[in-house]
Amino acid sequence: MKAFYAEEQKRHDPKAFLSSGAQKPNPEKPERVERLLVGAKAAGCTIERPRDHGLGPVAAVHTPEYLDFLEHIFARWQRIEGASAEVIPNIHPIARDGSYPASAVGQAGYHMADTACPISGETWRSALWSAWSAIEAAEGVMSGAPAAYALCRPPGHHAFADVAGGFCFINNSAVAAQTLRKQAARVAILDVDLHHGNGTQGIFYARPDVLTVSLHADPVRFYPFFWGHADERGEGPGLGYNFNLPLARKSGDAAFLEALDVAFQRIRAFAPEALVVALGLDAFEGDPFGGLSLTTQGFSRIGEAIAGRGLPTVIVQEGGYLCDELGDNLTAFLTGFGGGKR
């Protein structure tokens, strides 16, 4: 299987992170890339650099206001006297239907959901290359490859059409799905990250052409708190095209695979022509977030189960944080996927 990644994706190096009010080092470290590259190569992937795909495929799922903000906010922030080294909001609108602020501080609050997505001078470029990796993988599948892996970093599934959040800026899985839509009438996104894919859900919430399915730790007491509940089913023409499967904290392989079967039932009934897997590896029992308790073998079985669907598949890297097994877990998933019944 081909894997796509560009060196520029490593330049974004966020420092700030607030967790339960405490300042901690940001866990979305560039070193993740090194571990994931080793893991992908161990599974037999060849690593290729994506092409420059311009803004078009990104603008297909994000607003121009937001993309302009992402590209220019760092330079504007630096002109504020006494401003922090990274763009971090200190105020958010409690509703987003009011006026659009002109100031850098106001716009940061408008376009950033939380304090986990600080923006530096490298963020825009890294996020754009990350999205281009996803596009390249989608185009590979559209050209006939049964599957491709996009080593996306920074990740994307918490980014909405006009909001960054949770280490995410451009929604790579959404960009991949929208790219696949050029050929496929219906695309399903299966998100197996520990956290609910709230940005992806938001982008497609009113659309019946992209089914969004997410398995994740129950948000009733877990990030992203306000999204990911079972009663969120879509709206308007998209009603019935969003499916959330929240899992009890510390759920292991058996519970996850059982929920995956339920997810597949829904996906089968949607009859998609292509699949995007939002592959978080942070549901691992040894991940620093500690929300679920999957094993390395569990990732292999998940990969095998997904491959068994026989759909053209774009695998997009989402979360998964530094622990000794991070690379092994990717190898296990990709090997399981390759060993499936395709």
Q: Which residues are catalytic?
A: 158
Q: Is residue 282 near Zn ion by the rule CB under 5 A?
A: yes
Task: Give the Å distances, CA to CA, from 269 to 9, 223, 262, 264, 281.
Answer: 37, 29, 11, 8, 27
Of the candidate spans 28-36, 129-137, 173-181, 189-197, the one that interacts with Zn ion by CB under 5 A turns out to be: 189-197
What does the buried/exposed string (b/e) look like for 35-74 if buried means 16 or more CB atoms within 10 Å of the residue's CB?
Answer: bbbebbeebebeebebeebeeebbeebbeeebbebbeebb
Q: How far is the CB of 196 from Zn ion (least distance, A)?
A: 9
Q: How far is the CB of 223 from Zn ion (least distance, A)?
A: 8
Q: Is residue 279 near Zn ion by the rule CB under 5 A?
A: no
Q: How far is the CB of 115 from Zn ion (least distance, A)?
A: 16
Choosing from 73, 88, 194, 326, the residue that interacts with Zn ion (CB under 5 A) is 194
- 8 A C-beta contact, residue 202 and residue 152: no
Choosing from 14, 140, 238, 280, the residue that interacts with Zn ion (CB under 5 A) is 280
Do β-strands 18-19 and 22-23 pair in parallel, antiparallel, or remain unpaired? Answer: antiparallel
Q: Is residue 195 near Zn ion by the rule CB under 5 A?
A: yes
Give the H or E element holding residue 125.
helix 123-142
What the block records as the tokens of 23 is 């300042």
Binding mask 197-236 for Zn ion (x = CB under 5 A): ----------------------------------------
What does the buried/exposed string (b/e) look like for 171-193 if buried means 16 or more CB atoms within 10 Å of the residue's CB?
Answer: bbbbbbbbbbbeebebbbbbbbb
Q: How many CB atoms lie within 10 A of CB 151?
A: 26
Of the candidate spans 108-116, 258-266, 269-277, 315-323, the one that interacts with Zn ion by CB under 5 A turns out to be: 315-323
Q: Is residue 28 near Zn ion by the rule CB under 5 A?
A: no
Of the candidate spans 37-45, 46-54, 199-207, 277-285, the one that interacts with Zn ion by CB under 5 A turns out to be: 277-285
Q: Is residue 323 near Zn ion by the rule CB under 5 A?
A: no
Q: Is residue 193 near Zn ion by the rule CB under 5 A?
A: yes
Q: How far is the CB of 174 from Zn ion (least distance, A)?
A: 16
Give the H or E element holding residue 132.
helix 123-142
Q: How far is the CB of 144 from Zn ion (least distance, A)?
A: 31
Residue nearest to Zn ion (CB): 319
Q: Is residue 319 near Zn ion by the rule CB under 5 A?
A: yes
Of the candidate spans 65-73, 192-200, 251-259, 267-275, the one that interacts with Zn ion by CB under 5 A turns out to be: 192-200
φ and ψ of 29, to 5 deg: -90, 150
* Binding interface with Zn ion (CB under 5 A): 193-195, 280, 282, 319
